[in-house]
Amino acid sequence: MAVTLSRRVDYPMIDSANIAYYPRIYDLAHRFFEECWQEICAVSYPELINIRKMGFPIVNAQTDFIAPLRYGDTVKANIWISRVGEKSCTWQYRFFNQNDVLLWSSEQVTVCVDLESLQSIIIPDDLRKGLEMCSE
């Protein structure tokens, strides 16, 4: 089941061509990624980082920039998980504007990591359950 979130394209995201500067789109995706943990696994990403001392850094990303994100657009993000492995999961992102035009598509693989050792770890069962429920 996909998570749908939305956010406006703000002026600091815009470059001299008057469209969202591509690194800001990745930043926007990460903001959506952090936000969706509460809905998917009933835990906030700050709790994972600060209390549970684990994170899910990206180890691979494949992206298509299809159409520009413009200042003032409302980006609707559809996010789901296409694969949950033992230590990793594959996230799917589709960004649409307020007119339902597909703007951006990305597949990102994250790995569950112990933040103290920076070693990969097995995804805990409570998180796995939520992640699997968000898969296709």
Residues 46-87 pLDDT 10s: 999 999 999 999 999 999 999 999 999 999 999 999 999 999
Mean pLDDT (whole number) for 90-110: 98
- pLDDT averaged over every residue in the chain: 96
pLDDT at 135 over 90: no
- Give this prediction's pTM: 0.94
The one-character DSSP state at 51 is T
* 132: confidence class by pLDDT, cuts 50, 70, 90: very high
Query: Total domain count for the chain?
Result: 1
Q: Which domain holds residue 114?
A: 3-133
pLDDT at 15 over 80: yes
What percent of the chain is predicted at pLDDT more than 90?
96
Q: Give CA torsion, residues 33, 103, 4, 131, to 10 deg.
A: -50
Residue partners of 13: CB distance under 8 A and separation at least 6: 20, 21, 24, 25, 27, 28, 69, 71
Mean pLDDT (whole number) for 6-26: 95
pLDDT at 136 over 80: no
For residues 28 and 22, give the distance between their C-alpha atoms in angstroms, rounded to a whole number. Answer: 10
Check which CATH number belongs to the domain holding 80 and give it.
3.10.129.10
Q: How far is CA 3 from the centre of its chain?
A: 10
80 forms bridges with which residues in the sheet? 92
For residues 6 and 36, give the distance between their C-alpha atoms in angstroms, rounded to a whole number. Answer: 11
